Structure 1
Amino acid sequence: MKGSKLETLYRSKLTALNDEVCTLDSKVDLWHNRLAHMSGKGLGILAKHGLIPISNSETLDARCSHCLIGKQHRSSFSKGSQRKTRVLEMVYSDVCGPMTTRTLGGCSYFVTFIDDYSRKLWAYLLKTKDQVYIIFKQFHVMVERESGELLKCVRTDNGGEYIGLFDQYCKEHGIRHEQSVPKTPQHNGLAERMNRTIVEKIRCMLSHSNLPRSFWGEALCASIPVINRSPTTILEGQVPEEVWSGKKVSYKHLRVFGCRAFAHIPKDERTKLDNKSRQCVLLSFGDDKFGYKLYDPKTKKITRSRDVIFFEEQTIKDFTSNVEVENGDREIVEYEIDDDVEPPTIDNNTSSGNAPSYTPSNDENQHETGDNEQSHEEGETSIEEPQSNILPSTNLRSSNRTRVPSSKYPPHEYVLLTDNGEPTCYQEAISLDDKEEWIDAMREEMNSLNKSNTFILVD
């Protein structure tokens, strides 16, 4: 410091301090209040640009009671616990529903189970939530037999379907049951997010297939194999099915849900002049053993077949006018079924005047040739006659039989879409994943017969 001497004193030039610095602490709080309780970070930015007269080094006291009252948020959730290292160490479960439209089988809910390690998904349709307990018991036995591992922990929300019998079953079998904190779905976030994924896929599939909303259950069942074959980030590009089973997965059997399909009619179900194929809609893709699950809109029945030709670019809207597609709840128009009157057999290819013309491709011509060859192998005789020998059409004779008025039934009386097919012989039954249940049923039936003495063993 330098100063000029003035007689016996030194005179220096100093700058007077502003009184604002003297009230620094109060200024921070004041500007915090003036700016509608702005955050400390915001105040620091304004001070840095010289817009408000406070020091950058000062921080706002975070314990402002008014800020706590008006702006307190829930504590953020950290990322979920580390992914498990073995299958069935942790399984997440959640129930979704009720849906505004029931399936044709009368279901309004579905329950999901997700393995944390493999991310494999299982889903089951439910009519009521209390069916979760029964489904879980079946799921428990199936996954343990399939994987060879024991189910150690299951995490659910606090829904009533997961308490009582469900919780008691877990305790009896040594399964740790973790329940999320009430009104905190983030604790079961994996299952919650999967429900959203499934519902979004169902919407897309129903929209593309032009099927009514009552088919959402079939769309659900068809989406599960696809999700289990979809690459997952947490699996570093692997697919859940492959991680779960340790085997390479196949995609060759997948087809477009709801597409037009021609299913071969077995020889014992038709006469010589009957059609050899029926037009259906694809509902789900099975394997080589049980084939494809198809819906016949004419008879409103479910069929299974391995011998199917698909037109994946077409939907039910392209080959039938008996389906009304509307915004909102769309319903299938019911057919009147008269059991007392047997209609004449007419070839669909000639009887429908509104049917669009179609030219088969080379592949289809080859397939038709194959059918002709198969017909000769089956012993059918193909006879070509000149047009002049064709008899003129005659009027159909009217029946004098008294007709009984037909009664209409709800759709689920004609078809149960939740049916996944049943084995037709012992070998099929013991080759299923739930073979133990079939064996138990056989034993129970045999015990009943033995107790009733209804038969005698003979040589």
Structure 2
Amino acid sequence: MGNDGSAKAIGIRYVRLETSNGIMLILKNVKHILDIRMNLISTGKLDDEGFCNTFRDSQWKLTKGSMVVAKGKKCYSLYLMQARVIDSSINVVDDDSTVELWHNRLDHMSEKGLMILAKKNLLSSMKKGFLKRQSGEKLKCIRTNNGGEYYGPFDEYCRQHGIRHQKTPPKTPQLNELAERMNKTLVERALNTVVHVLNLTPCVPLEFDVLDRIWSNNEIFYDHLRVFGYKAFVHILKDERFKLDAKTRLCVFIGYGQNELGYRFYDPVQKKLVRSRDAMFMEDHTIQDIEKTDEAMGDENKIKWVDAMQDEMKSLHENISYEFIKLPNEKRALKNKWVYRVKQEEHASQPCYKAKLVVKGFIQNKGIDFDEIFSPVVKMSFIRVVLGLAASLDLEIEQMDVKTTFLHGDLDKEIYMEQLEGFIIKGKEDYACKLKKSLYGLKQAPRQWYKKFESVMGEQGYKKTTSNHCVFVHKFSDDDFVILLLYVDDILIVGRNVSRIDKLKKQLSKSFSMKDLGPVKKILGIRIERDRASKKLYMSQEQYIEKVLERFNMSKAKVVNSPLASHFKLSRRHSPSIDKEKEDMRRVPYASAVGSLMNPMVCTRPDIAYVIGVVSRFLSNPGRLHWEAVKWIMRYLQGTSKLKLTFESGKPVLVSYTDSNMAGDVDNRRPTLGYLMTFSGGAVFWQSRLQKSVALSTTEAEYIAAAEACKELLWMKRFIHELGFKQQRYVVYCDNQSVIHLSKNSIFHARSKHIDVRYHWMRDALNDNLFELEKIHIDHNGSDMLTKSLPKEKLEVCCSIAEMASPSK
């Protein structure tokens, strides 16, 4: 030190600083010294790292080349840097290799015991590894019992750091029930772990032999040992997650399996115990998302990040994504960035480091860098129709996935990009990359990918349908055809002839980088199950629903038997009007919950379409009663999460049902219309929404609903025709006789003359025999559940019409 004194460094770390210029500065080998109250930076070390320090006019400037990295001002005789610490999450207690990690794994075994095991070469990879990770959150209050350990130094620490220390009265553990119950759970696991480790410890009475070896007479291994209480990334099985979900969960290691292989963990988010053998333990490093290239190059895993960037560069070169050229004077080059992520791949013991090059497309100008950006995807209703067709005719259903999807698209605009950060070619610093492929981040990338895929399918003799441009059909004969559905990078292939499907797979694999997933199991988060013996196909989202219920702490709520009880008369009157009530409701995850429930409503659950539509009307200003209604829906889903949309064998027939609820909306008295279409027995299309205008009679409300349903029927009819299938008659069922009469003639002119002419097209369509409108009893109208809340018995009838059934049925 400056006064010839000394101070002890308790750790060495790297520190990230964000300077006043917005630049991330990473300082390596920073010593953590408790006796020093100010952060000090050595100008000599900065000079060694290639930085230039300039002191002038009471100002300090740190530069690297022409870039100003940081600034500071003179304060007395010191210069203060204008920066803030981003994090300093890694504390390495010792800079040299130590046995600290094995000391922790073996439950703080004595040094003598460690040396005995080490001399026998039983402890592999002794290395440094005592870590400390901080959350960054400030503790405000702590509640304890009256134990003596919480007095003295502990009390003093709380006072110094402004932490409120609450002490429970004697013999009142219920006031600290969470900690007390957790003690019961975790202490049991800790004791089991201690016993397990003791059985692997040299024992003095046994002349330093190991109990487990003597008992089992087998060789003893220590490689499976881990540090109790440390964090670990536990792998989530493929059938327990969806495509876009995280593949690991962050847990705490609490012990070893007794009668089963693997480890035991505690999940602090879901508050449950987890058993797994696939986990990555955080014993000697922490994993964080890297935001900038400078951070990646300063990270302890620099080599892995460089390898990931090299892999991305290899993909870019294989696809001939760009060429180097001098930037024309009238052109500008788009910026780019590297996106870094750490992922835990399935069946992998170590995390995968990935780097993706992304163009900053948000600075593109329309008309210069792009024209159109729309890219179609296959409608969910058409996916259900094709799956229903496959179930009815017992067709094969195969699935494929496209790798590096957007890199396959060809650009039709002249676009330039700056050279890649970290890969600038020496001697060509003034060159730019002229893009040939639609890189990730470009606004037109999805469209260019679709156009490329469309052209390849055309070369193979496939034609896109006019009903949906992401459905491609190739008819070889009346009984021999192949249908392909495209949803961005997910592909379904349906056909009777397996060899033709395999041929298409090979052709696609020649044009694109593909992954063959075999027979379909899950598509867009929907589980697909087939019973080939009975020619049935099931669609369900049980796992997704259970995940949503756990997320909102409703997985153990009391089950109800209807989506919304009749006593809920939701209105804007129930929305908060004063600021305090609004502030309270902002803390309620109303919009998030409703949005999460929309996915099953759109994909597999028509029974909740009406209630989701009702609660969605109050997203901008929800009230307590609205939130109670959302929780009611979750309680219903908890009891019906196993419901499956079913498609059966037999002749595929399209049938439509329509209904309307007169003045169903409490606030504006507009009717709620609903229509349901079934194909191959199961529901393929449904809609529940408010009509655009107030109806003056039930006839008018039902007439408008019927007109809307008939429009959708014609669209679906055209699609089925394009697939090569026809049926003799298409029927729309309505439970209002007056609507049927009004659709055939205008005898009710005095009471219907005000109905918008756009709805009267239905008369011409009926005259042209495009479909038929028939009467059905209200008890057999499947669309009734789309317009109002129903009692349990009537709801079950509607669900059976839509072929929604639980596994037991």
TM superposition score normalised by structure 1: 0.28
Greater fraction strand: 2
Q: Which has the larger radius of gyration?
A: 1
Structure with the greater relative contact order (CA < 8 A, sep ≥ 6): 1 or 2? 1
